[in-house]
Amino acid sequence: MIILMNAPTGEQLNRLLEKLQQHGLAAQILQQGENTIVSAAGDAHHCHIDLYERMTGVDRVIPILTPFKLVSREFCPQNTKVQVGNVVFGGESVQIIAGPCAVESYEQLYETAVSVKKSGAVMLRGGTYKPRTSPYSFQGLEKEGLEILQAVGQSVGLPVVSEVTDPRTVGIVAQYADMLQIGARNMQNFALLKEIATINKPVLLKRGNSATIEEWLMAAEYIAVGGNLQIVLCERGIRTFEPSTRNTLDLNAVPVVKQLCHLPVIVDPSHGTGHWKLVGPMSKAALAAGADGLIIEVHPHPDEALSDGAQSLTPVNFAQLMTELRALADVLGRSMLMGGETDHE
């Protein structure tokens, strides 16, 4: 269950925690301004909710049966909006993040950033710490890449997102990126999830390639319990027996998660398919399924890309796709920005 308290005194909070301990319930405390949220996990069936509601300092008690508490619809029936700079995820607008898989040089990233912004992208993506299957593959420019990413983002006026792969580098990535990404390989890196929860930055949490929806939401719960509810979920495909595509893009997950969870959900059709020709169709399908946005890989010269060139769109192909997505969004009763516009939702 979730216990909401409004500016409780230390004595009131301690009394509540003692009572929870007497009932064998493990408590987690989340501070949001003057409000204190206490998540109580364990067998609460024998506990009388009204007993807790009568305690001084307690505003409301919400019984929640799902294993994920703070990210559940039971805790928050309304859609959560996550703001990154002037970009709002979870509102009426469909938000598009675009950029290369990896930052390779200032020139490469700047050329990409100018083109994707002109086409209507509202955020710039770029990997700087790259977890690769092979130790011989390009591992990213690391701190130099972060400096390039920040400089280009500020130059063209786009907030930036980059992946963090190690608890030891959370602080440095947070210095340069407006949003921190947890990639599929690290979705259940619990030390990383706990560390990133302590940073006051929005988080893009990708689904692990073999993770169930419940496991994905429990990963989000780690971040929420740690004090950070600025989470955007990203479906990016799961591993199945089908070899025709890099992954199987599970668009079922979008409406399922939206029923279970109040956080925004976006889709990554680039990693979800692994083929640039499939990115357009699956982007449209994702919008039709109710996604709050997309993250798409774009490279000025995909044949020369150091990472994921096969799934990257050229700026010309991206511009054409954005025109098609904008028309689809209108049909769906949602909006998308034109090139160069600013979201003030």
- Does residue 201 share a domain with residue 322? yes
Summarize pLDDT for 62-96 with one digit per residue, the tens: 888 888 999 999 999 999 999 999 999 999 999 99
Domain that holds residue 24: 2-62
Summarize pLDDT for 112-130 with one digit per residue, the tens: 999 999 999 999 999 999 8
Backbone φ/ψ region at 85: left (φ over 0), alpha (ψ -120 to 50), beta? left
Residue 340 is assigned to a structural domain of this protein: no
Q: What is the pLDDT of residue 341?
A: 61
- Does residue 211 share a domain with residue 113? yes
133: confidence class by pLDDT, cuts 50, 70, 90: confident
Instruction: Report the Cα 155 to chain-centroid distance in Å.
Output: 24
Measured distance CA(150)–CA(152) in Å, rounded: 6
- Does residue 99 share a domain with residue 13? no
Three-class secondary structure of residue 39 per DSSP: strand
340: pLDDT strictly greater than 60:
no
- Does residue 92 share a domain with residue 49? no
Summarize pLDDT for 22-35 with one digit per residue, the tens: 888 888 888 877 88
Residue pair 131/167 in contact by the 8 Å Cβ criterion: no
- Does residue 176 share a domain with residue 56? no
Summarize pLDDT for 229-245 with one digit per residue, the tens: 999 999 999 999 999 99
Q: What is the pLDDT of residue 195?
A: 96
Q: What is the pLDDT of residue 344?
A: 46
Which position has the higher pLDDT, 336 or 130?
336
Structural domain ending residue among the three candidates 62, 97, 114: 62
Q: DSSP state, 57? A: T
Q: What is the pLDDT of residue 295?
A: 98
Please tell me the number of Cα atoms within 13 Å of 38 on its side-chain side: 27
